[in-house]
Amino acid sequence: MTSGRPDPALVARLLRQRREFGHGPLTLETLDRSQALSLAAGRGRASASEALPTTGDSTRESDDAGGPFAPPGEYDALREAALVCTRCRLAKGRTQVVFSDGSPDARVMVVGEAPGANEDRTGLPFVGRAGKLLDLLLASVSLSRRDSVYICNVLKCRPPGNRDPRSDEIEACSPWLHRQIELVEPEVILAVGTFSAQLLTGRNMALGKLRGEVYSYRGTPLVVTYHPAALLRNAGWTRSTWSDLQLLRGVLDGS
Ligand code: URA
């Protein structure tokens, strides 16, 4: 990798090597503002096929029988397959799989943590109190799930009692998310909350330390911020969240 923008071919080779050596799922880097804007403008963006093994992070992915797990590469087929997923224990307790809301053509993709009770009941992500706040936050930068945002979660099924996602559940479920991102091809990703931010940045750090920068998720600019549910508990994070959304808007506008 040279200074400045990463060379997609080198990134692809590095990813392949990491797979071969059994390293963790993601290779990411922090971008400075001009690199992020350049990615957002489509300059130097590695295509999914260049930068990725086609099955996503396949060193850690396997189907129920222990073989390689390759989620379908076509959006409707992906959704249909995910809706009947039994890859982890959460399948037993769910009412339904919560796959997404918004348009797969959206410019912005929001990735939350996991469905709660309302989402499990309705089949749509972020429909409870946290969801209402998310909608307001998005509206503050002229975005909406109806027109411009695609919303989904790291986990597609509700953890019992809304407990935190477990690492094996994230591992089992994340191939769906990686493929969703690959197919939706958002211009910018917004990860809300620790689990989503850590998974997509590949960094095991507190959210307060992660936020405030633009990352690259496989060539797509990625901004991370507090989960709206956390914001409901701690209004002190509002200013930082506002500034993260401005950062997102700036990347989207190329300014
Ligand atoms: N919290 C999330 O992270 N996702 C939802 O869909 C609802 C609440």
> Residue 150 is part of a domain; what is its CATH number?
3.40.470.10
Same domain? For 25 and 118 the reply is: no
Residue 41 tokens read as: 């403008």
Determine the average pLDDT of the residues in 155-166.
98
Cβ atoms of 68 and 59 within 8 Å: the answer is no
Same domain? For 21 and 129 the reply is: no
- For residue 187, how far is its CA from the centre of ligand 1 (angstroms)? 22
- Name the residue at shortest CA distance from atom 7 of ligand 1: 126
Structural domain contains residue 206:
yes
Structural domain contains residue 21:
yes
Mind spelling out the 3-state secondary structure of the chain? CCCCCCCHHHHHHHHHHHHHCCCCCCCCEEECHHHHHHHHCCCCCCCHHHHCCCCCCCCCCECCCCCECCCCCCHHHHHHHHHCCCCCCHHHHCCCCCCCEECCCCCEEEEECCCCHHHHHHCCCCCCHHHHHHHHHHHCCCCCCCCCEEEEECCCCCCHHHCCCCHHHHHHHHHHHHHHHHHHCCCEEEEECHHHHHHHHCCCCCHHHHCCCEEEECCEEEEEECCHHHHHHCHHHHHHHHHHHHHHHHHHHCC
Residue 125 tokens read as: 């992500």
Structural domain contains residue 64:
no
**Measuring CA to CA, which residue among 60, 77, 78 is closest to residue 69?**
60
Residue 55 tokens read as: 């099955």
Cβ atoms of 51 and 219 within 8 Å: the answer is yes
Cα 86–Cα 72–Cα 178 angle in degrees, nearest 5: 80
Structural domain contains residue 158:
yes
Residue 4 tokens read as: 């400045």
| CA of 193, closest atom in ligand 1 | 3
Determine the average pLDDT of the residues in 146-171.
97
State pLDDT tens for residues 4-16: 444 444 444 444 4
The pLDDT of residue 33 is 52
68 pLDDT more than 80: no
- For residue 170, how far is its CA from the centre of ligand 1 (angstroms)? 14
Structural domain contains residue 73:
no
Same domain? For 27 and 94 the reply is: no
- For residue 253, how far is its CA from the centre of ligand 1 (angstroms)? 27
Poorest-pLDDT segment among 12-21, 95-104, 131-140? 12-21
Structural domain contains residue 41:
yes
Q: Which residues line ligand 1 (CB under 6 A)?
A: 112-116, 119, 125-126, 130-131, 153, 193, 229
255 pLDDT more than 50: yes
**Measuring CA to CA, which residue among 205, 182, 187, 184 is closest to residue 195?**
205
- For residue 160, how far is its CA from the centre of ligand 1 (angstroms)? 13
89 CB burial (10 A radius; 0-12, 13-18, 19+): middle
Q: Which of 111, 113, 196 for a ligand 1 pocket mutation test, highest count of atoms within 8 Å of Cβ? A: 113
59 pLDDT more than 90: no
Same domain? For 99 and 186 the reply is: yes
- For residue 113, how far is its CA from the centre of ligand 1 (angstroms)? 5
Domain end, chosen from 34, 50, 66, is at 50
Enclosing domain of residue 147? 90-253
- Name the residue at shortest CA distance from atom 3 of ligand 1: 113
Structural domain contains residue 67:
no
Poorest-pLDDT segment among 19-23, 124-128, 151-155, 239-243? 19-23
Number of domains forming the structure of the chain = 2
- Residue bearing tokens 């050596």: 21
Residue 95 tokens read as: 């009412």
Confidence of residue 107 (pLDDT cuts 50, 70, 90): very high
